[in-house]
Amino acid sequence: MSADELKEYLATAIELAKEVGPAFKDGFWRKGRFSNTSDFAAEDKLGNEADCVTAVDRYIEKTIFARLRQIYPDHKLVGEESTAESGNGYVITDDPTWIVDPVDGTNNFVHHFPYTGISIGLAIGKEPVVGVIYLPILDELYTAARGLGAFVNDQKLPLIQSPALTSPTSLSQCALVSEHGSDRSLKTMQSRLGSFTRLLTDKQYGGGCLQNLRITGGACPDLTLVAKGSAELYWECGPHVWDFAAGVVILLESGGAVFDGAGWWGTDIPEDERVPKPLNIWNRKIVAVRYIPDLPGNPGSGRELQRQLVKELLEIVEDIDYTPDGVQ
C-alpha cells in the first residue's frame, strides 16, 4: 500500500464526512429535513431500550455507502445500522473494507450532548489503515492514515505537547475514559461496575486509585480525547468494530498504543503470561493509551510506560465475554 493510495482513501473519507456533516447538524438540532420529530423517530435498536437508532443514522450510512459503492465498487462495506439489522453475519476478509458508524454516540445525539460524531475507517488485511472522525457540533475533524500522522483541524496530534504532556508512571496519575455500554443485564453491569470500583479505589484497598474516570457516551470522542492528550487511557469491553476502527488509526498515528482489552481480574492466568496482547479490532475488547514522552535520558521509556500502565489496568478489570464481530 503506497502513501499515495492511502492519501487517496483518506481524502475520500474526509470528503464523505464533510458531505454528510450538514445532515448530522440538522438532525442534532432537529432542523431542516429532521425538524418534524415524528420523522426523526428515535427508536429502540433491536428491542434494547438502552440503545437507539434514528432516521439520521440510517440516512448518513445510506449516503456514505452509496458514494463508496460508486467510487470503489470492489470494496467491502461494514456499517453499524445495516450490519446490526442483518444480525452481524458478515464475513471478514483481507479486502479493503470500509467500516462506518454514521452517528457514534447516538444517545448523546438524541439528548443534544455534543460528544457525538461520524466515524469512517478503512481496513486492509483486517487491519485499520485510514481513520476519520468528524464531531460536527464541536467542529472537530480528526484525520489519520498509516504512516502519515494524525491531525485535528490540520493541527498535528497530540495537541498537548511536552512539557505540559506528562509521563505518568501509575494509574493514580491518569484519567481514564470508558463507557457503561448498552448491555444492561445484571451480570454485565455488576462486572463493569466492579471494574470501575477497583479502578477508583485507593491502592491500600487493592485498587488503582485512578485519578479520574470519564464517561462521555461514545467510543469515538473517547479515542479523540486520548489522541489529543486530554486523557491517558481508554478501556472498554463490548464496543463494535465501527465504534473504534477509525479511532485506532488516529490514536496510533498520534503516538499512542492499543492492546487487547480483556482483563485479568478473577482469572488464573499465570503472572508470567500477564502481558498486554495485540489488539484484534474484531474482538470487541480494547485498551488504548496516549502518547507518553520518554523520561529524560531514557530513550524508549515512553513505550515502556505505555505497556506498564496497560498492565496495571488489566490486572484490576474483569473481562466480559462478547461475540466477536463478523465471521473470521
Residue ranges of the binding site for Mg(2+)? 80, 101, 104, 243
Per the structure block, which three cell numbers stand in for 277? 496482547
Per the structure block, which three cell numbers stand in for 125? 488485511
Helices (H), 30-91: 37-40, 55-71, 80-85
Residue pair 251/223 in contact (Cβ under 8 Å)? The answer is: yes
Residue pair 324/270 in contact (Cβ under 8 Å)? The answer is: no
Q: What is the DSSP letter of 4?
A: H
Give CA–CA dist 1/281, Å, rounded.
20
Per the structure block, which three cell numbers stand in for 48? 434494547
Residue with grid cell 483541524, as numbered in its chain: 153
Give CA–CA dist 197/204, Å, rounded.
14
Which residues are part of a known binding site?
A: 80, 101, 104, 243
Per the structure block, which three cell numbers stand in for 244? 473504534
Q: Measuring CA to CA, which residue among 233, 234, 217, 229 is closest to residue 115?
A: 217
Three-class DSSP category at 43: strand
